[in-house]
Amino acid sequence: MIAVIPKTNQSAVVEEFFQLFKTPWEFYREGQSYEVVVATAGEIPNTETRLLILYGADTKNYDSQAKLTVFSKVPHANLTYQGTLVPIYGDTLTFEPTAGSEPCVLTSSGIAGLKMYSTGTIVLRIGYDLFHEIGLLLNAGQPVEKASIPTLEIHIKMLRNWILEAGINLFEIPPVPAGHAFAICLTHDIDFVGIRNHMFDHTMWGFLYRSTVGAFCELVRGRISLSRLLKSWRAAMSLPLVYLGWTRDFWLPFDWYLQIEKGLPTTYFMIPYKNRAGEKLSVEHPKRRATAYDIMDISEWTALLIREGCEIGVHGIDSWHDVEKGREELKRIATAVGNDEIGVRMHWLLRDENSARVIEEAGYVYDSTAGYNESVGYRCGTTQAYRPLGAQRLLELPIHIQDGALFFSQRLGLTEAEAWKRCKSLLHNSKEFGGVLNIIWHDRSPGPERFWGDFYTRLVQEIKTYGVWFGTALQVVRWFQKRRNVTFEPVTLADGRRRVKLRSTRKKIEPPLLLRIHRPLSDRDKYQLLSIDSRTVIDILWAGEVDIELNEAMEISYGSQPNTALRSSES
């Protein structure tokens, strides 16, 4: 059991952090002994523990006791931990080394973390405030230049590693569906539904320019091939036939997506009302946000998508800032699809600091707006669905990869080779940290003048090789919610031994959760394996239908059955 001693205003952040790092913990109780104590408060009581981790850029009462000397206070430092860059958005203290201490975190300005030993306790003095950083990530998010770094997940990894390096067993429920490497959401924002709806407007003229003059300029720059240029010109010349209904509308995407994603659950975010640009807009060309279709115009397509196992969500217009309009938009989509368990993603990804509260009050199950228009990566530093601070039940399913961010010249403007490298990096992170990788591919993207369909096809095929769990946005959010519903209840037996009872809602969790036990190897084993990171990991599958108990030796049991009744694997 981990005990936490936070500052007085950090309780909500602590609770959310330990939903993401799902391991037994509690707020510190005086008189209890703990194997691990994590603290950001300034005054730390004398406590019996094997590992004490003190975070903070302010002075602690421990600092004077240990005779620590601060070298500097650095704002917005970039830390280095085991060769990994870790951006810090608040202040960071650097320390002078002391006799018997070991550096464990570094910055370009000096030592940001020291490891010390004190009467049977390992003490880590870390120069930044962990929970302040988590709060910043979940509220404001990361600047676009740090988008590629899953910072929150790295903070979890660091804490986990420090516990294991202290020789302490660790139990957690990782954000990994049992039997899979991680989860995938394939999502599509439906903004146009065909070019036939756009005659002699800015959308049509923009298409003609980009598919003719623009495509020729791209060829000269070496960004597209001659065959791509010819396809663009052919599409431009076919436009009168499209308007006459004599040839296929090349911006109607549903058949193509159903073919490429055959058998895969997918989420489509649909516009509830056409010709509405929305209110409170401080964006360039706000009138262009209005669409020429809405959900009632495409009932045949939505019925087909639902029959194929797809989910329909709201592509919100004003839901991000107005509760009543949010309810109105939700009701319109719910009526059209016959389901009131609805999620939302805002058109143009509009949001502010109050959006989570507004969206929750409007009645949505989840939001999937947190992401970048300008880049790909981790807006809030995490691969997981999380609860925004200030919300009570709403989960945020963050966006990680967006087609326009990859390829638009005003954004990253990558070649396909460069974009592939970026996507592979995000897949690698998902394999390491678990969670969900959430991908947007827009309705116009497979067709002219973008022609991003081949890249998407290749990406989907590559993802399949990772052994992932494909789910709609709603299915993935439900899975994360069931993981969050698991509680850890400390139990003290009559003989003084302590256990932790794991409780769920008794409803089957599918895919099951993993109960992961980390057993640090002995010094002898580490020497033989020549790897200080080597450890025994035991994974046990649990569908949550019965309560189970974990004892001090990290042995799991439930009811009268031995722990072998649960399927396990050891590596």
Residue 541, helix vs strand vs coil: strand
Residues 434-451 have a mean pLDDT of: 97
pLDDT of residue 559: 54
123-125-131 Cα angle (round to 5): 115
When pLDDT is cut at 50, 70 and 90, the band that residue 334 belongs to is: very high
Strands, E assignment, 400-492: 401-402, 436-440, 469-470, 487-492
Exposure of 361 by Cβ count < 10 A (0-12 exposed, 13-18 middle, 19+ buried)? middle
Please, which residues have CB within 8 angstroms of residue 185's CB and are 6 or more apart in sequence?
Answer: 267, 368, 397, 436, 437, 438, 439, 471, 472, 473, 476
Q: Please tell me the distance from the alpha carbon of residue 32 to that of residue 27, in angstroms, as a whole number.
A: 11
Residue 351 has pLDDT above 90, yes or no: yes
Residue 354, helix vs strand vs coil: coil
pLDDT one-digit tens code per residue, 487-511: 998 887 777 778 899 999 888 999 9
Strands, E assignment, 434-520: 436-440, 469-470, 487-492, 498-503, 513-520
Residue 170 has pLDDT above 80, yes or no: yes
pLDDT one-digit tens code per residue, 284-320: 899 999 999 999 999 999 999 999 999 999 999 999 9
> Residue 549 carries which DSSP code?
E
Residues 132-139 have a mean pLDDT of: 97
Residues 190-209 have a mean pLDDT of: 95
CA-wise closest residue to 149 among 356, 400, 415: 400
Please, which residues have CB within 8 angstroms of residue 528's CB and are 6 or more apart in sequence?
Answer: none
Which range among 101-105, 117-121, 425-429, 518-522 has the greatest average pLDDT?
425-429
When pLDDT is cut at 50, 70 and 90, the band that residue 521 belongs to is: low
Residue 522 has pLDDT above 70, yes or no: no
Residue 458 has pLDDT above 60, yes or no: yes
User: What is the CB neighbour count within 10 angstroms for residue 327?
Assistant: 15
Q: Please tell me the distance from the alpha carbon of residue 496 to that of residue 451, in angstroms, as a whole number.
A: 67
Residues 396-425 have a mean pLDDT of: 96
Q: Return the percentage of the chain with pLDDT > 90, whole number.
A: 80
Write out the DSSP string of 376-391.
-S-TTS-SS-BPPTT-
Q: Return the percentage of the chain with pLDDT > 70, whole number.
A: 95
Exposure of 25 by Cβ count < 10 A (0-12 exposed, 13-18 middle, 19+ buried)? buried
Residues 363-384 have a mean pLDDT of: 98
Weakest mean pLDDT among 17-26, 387-396, 532-541: 532-541
261-287 burial code (b ≥16 CB/10 A, e <16) = beebbbbbbbbbbbebbbeeeeeeeee
CA-wise closest residue to 319 among 333, 303, 335: 333
pLDDT one-digit tens code per residue, 68-77: 888 889 999 9
When pLDDT is cut at 50, 70 and 90, the band that residue 523 belongs to is: low
pLDDT of residue 92: 96
Which CATH number, 1.10.3720.10, 3.40.50.880, 3.30.720.200, 3.40.50.970, labels domain 2-172?
3.40.50.880
Residue 534 has pLDDT above 80, yes or no: no
Note the helical H segments in 42-187. Answer: 61-65, 130-139, 151-165
Q: Would you call the peptide bond into 6 cis, given omega within 30 degrees of 0 as the criterion?
A: no
User: What is the CB neighbour count within 10 angstroms for residue 537?
Assistant: 13
Tokens standing for residue 332: 């319109």
pLDDT of residue 560: 42
Residues 153-178 have a mean pLDDT of: 96
Residues 66-93 have a mean pLDDT of: 92
The DSSP bridge partners found for residue 170 are 518
Q: Would you call the peptide bond into 218 cis, given omega within 30 degrees of 0 as the criterion?
A: no
Residue 551, helix vs strand vs coil: strand
List the domain boundaries for the chain: 2-172, 186-194+251-479, 197-238, 486-570
Residue 452 has pLDDT above 90, yes or no: yes
Please, are residues 25 and 2 in contact by the beta-carbon 8 Å criterion? yes
Using CA atoms of 273, 275, 278, 282 in order, give the dihedral in degrees to the nearest 10.
Answer: 150
CA contacts within 13 A on the Cβ side of 95: 30
pLDDT of residue 345: 98
Residues 229-257 have a mean pLDDT of: 96
Residue 279 has pLDDT above 60, yes or no: yes
Q: Please tell me the distance from the alpha carbon of residue 308 to that of residue 261, in angstroms, as a whole number.
A: 10
pLDDT of residue 59: 87
Please, are residues 477 and 185 in contact by the beta-carbon 8 Å criterion? no
Residue 570 has pLDDT above 50, yes or no: no
On average, the pLDDT of the chain sits at 92
Residues 242-250 have a mean pLDDT of: 96
Residue 532 has pLDDT above 70, yes or no: no
Residue 50 has pLDDT above 80, yes or no: yes
The owner of tokens 């240990």 is: 66
Is the domain covering 186-194+251-479 a CATH 3.20.20.370 domain?
yes
Residue 561 has pLDDT above 60, yes or no: no
